[in-house]
Every structure is written in C-alpha cells, then in structure tokens.
Structure 1
Amino acid sequence: MTNCKLCKSEQVNQFSELETIIYKESELSVEMEYSVCENCGREFVSKQQILNNDARIRDAKKVVDGLLTSTEILEARESLGLTQEQASLVFGGGRNAFSKYERAEVSQSASMDKLIRMCLKHSNIFHELLTEAGIKIPQEQLCYEHNVVSYKLHKAANQGRFNQVSTIESIEERAYG
C-alpha cells in the first residue's frame, strides 16, 4: 500500500474510473487507476498505478492498430510451448522482448506481430524457426503438410516424402496432437 506523501497517512484508498482517450480518430475507454488519501483528501497516482495505466492504454492502442494485446502474446507464446527466452530466440527482438511485450511495457512491431500469427497458423513455419534457433522439435509434433491420404487410383510424384495415414481423422489427430 502507498502512503500519502503530503500527510504520511497510510489511509489511502485506490480507485479506478473509465477515461476516454482519442487515438487515431477513435475514442477508447480505458480503466485508469488512482489513489485518494482519506486523511488530507489528496488525489495522486502511484508509480505502480502509472505503469498499470500505461499498459492498459498501450493495449487499447494495439487493438486499434490490429496488433495482439499483451495477454494475447502471452497466450500465443504458451500455446507454442515456448519460454520467454526461447520465444526471443525464435522470433528475435532481444533477450527480454517477450517479457516486455507480455507486461505491455513496450509494443511489438507489426512485423513481429505478423510472424507470431503466422507461426500460430502454420506449424511448418514455426518448426523451421525452431530449427534455425537451435531448439529441438519433439517427435510427436507432426505437421499436417507432411501427412497425406493415399488414393488408390492416382499416386503423387512426391508421395514417398510423406507419412501415409488412413483417414482424414488421423490427419487431424496427428496435426493437432
């Protein structure tokens, strides 16, 4: 809890209110935190509240810009099975990049955002980036591009490169594990 800097009282209440900000001609409603001292009535914003408010504003702007929010980046990284350090190796951006993205301390670039989205949609691209980063791919993670249903009447010229499966259901089970 924060003490009042004016009267040193510990009786400080925290509040939040929706504030409207204008960004790229859009009105955004963002929840903003602040504190009020019960003793002297002083209204102030603590350092942590400033950080929280900045993060909320940054995430609201990301929505307008069509970028992943900090929570969505965290969820994407976790769904890809990466630590923050591994994600930085795979996607670039520096040693602490994903920590900062996930805390909404900084915004990712549009190209970083696109790369994360591509890896979520296309496991072959993700596996290629893992390999380049020197991260081992578990064998049970198969990519649907390498599975093919065998057709009795026709054979593909490159069919020998692929793992044969018997039904479409097997493909889905192998691709999404």
Structure 2
Amino acid sequence: MTNCKLCKSGNVRHLNDIEDISYKGNILAVSMEYSVCDDCQREFVSKQQILNNDARVRDAKKKADGLLTSSEIHEARITLGLTQESASLVFGGGKNAFSKYERAEVSQSVAMDKLIRICLKHSNVFNELLDNAGLPVRKDRFYEDSVIQYKKLTAANQERFKSVKSIQLMKDECYA
C-alpha cells in the first residue's frame, strides 16, 4: 500500500485514466495508472505505477509498429515450450532478454520479432534453432509434423477424360 508523502495518510486511491500519446504521426490511447490521496487531494504517481505506465506505453508503441507485445511474446514462448533461459539460447539476445521482453522493460528488434513469428509457423526452422542451441528437437508440437500422408488416388471416372499435353491442344479440342 502506498502512503501519501505530503500528509502521510494511507487513504490513497489507485486510479486509471486513458492518455493520448502521439507516436509516429498516430495517436495512441494508453491506460495510465496514478494515485490520489483522499485526505489532502494530492495526485501522484508511485514508482511502481511509473514502471507499469512505461511498460504500457512501450507495448502500445510495439503494437503500432506491428511487433509482438510483451504478453504475446510470453504466449509465443509458452507455445514453443521454452523457458526464458532456453528462449535466449535459441533466439539469442542475451541471458535475460526474454525476461525483459515479457516485462516490457525493453522492446525486441524487428529481426527478433520476425524470427519468433517464423518459428511459430515453421517447425523445421524452430527445430533447427533448437538443434543449433544444443537443445532437444521437439517434433510433437506442430500440426505439420502430425500430417499423415495418403496414397495418391485416382478418380473413379478418370478414363472418360483425356490428358492434354499443352494449352494449345486444349484450345483446339474446346473450339474444334
């Protein structure tokens, strides 16, 4: 609980308000935290609220730039079955990179963002990165690895149709 620094009262309300922020020619509406002392009516922002507000602004900017937000990076890491430490080994960026990305303390690069998205879609790329990092390859996590190949079948009435060797022949047969 936060106390008012002016009157030392513990009777403090924590509030949120939407603030418009200009970013690259666009206006971003961001929910910002602040506090109000009910005894002396002083309005202030605590240290934790400043950190939370900075993270919200950073996420709004990432979203405007088409990058994954901190919660989306967290979801992607969980979907890929990685810890923060193993994600740093697989994708690079340093030992604590994913911890900082997920707390919106720093923004990931465009290249890092693209690599995460590609690994979510293409298990072969992800498996190669796992192998390069010295981690076990996981084939059970992706749909494309579970696809059953069926024998090539022919249509029941296939003998009724002629195969055409070129487009010119097909035009001749259609208009003859």
TM range (shorter): 0.7 to 0.9
Distance 1:14 1:142 in 2: 44
Distance 2:21 2:153 in 1: 63
Deviation at 1:8, TM superposition (A): 1.0
- Partner residue of 2:90? 90
Deviation at 1:152, TM superposition (A): 7.0
Which residues of structure 1 form unaligned runs of 5+?
154-177
SS in 2 for 1:77: helix
**How high is the sequence identity, in percent, across the aligned residues?**
65
Which residues of structure 2 form unaligned runs of 5+?
155-176
SS in 2 for 1:8: coil
Distance 1:43 1:127 in 2: 52
- Partner residue of 2:107? 107
The one-letter code of the counterpart of 2:17 is E
Note closer, same or farther for the CA distance 1:47–1:120 as it changes in structure 2 (3 Å cut). same
Distance 1:75 1:52 in 2: 19
Q: Please give the TM-score of this superposition, normalised by the length of structure 2.
A: 0.81
Deviation at 1:149, TM superposition (A): 4.0
1:136 aligns with 2:136: yes
**Structure 1 contact 124–143 (Cα < 8 Å) conserved:** no
1:32 aligns with 2:71: no
Distance 1:143 1:129 in 2: 18
SS in 2 for 1:40: coil
- Map 1:22-101 → 2, pairs under 5 A: 22-101=22-101
Deviation at 1:142, TM superposition (A): 6.9
Deviation at 1:151, TM superposition (A): 3.3
What's the Cα RMSD here?
1.9
Greater Rg by CA: 2
The one-letter code of the counterpart of 2:6 is L
The one-letter code of the counterpart of 2:64 is V
Note closer, same or farther for the CA distance 1:123–1:96 as it changes in structure 2 (3 Å cut). same
Deviation at 1:148, TM superposition (A): 4.4
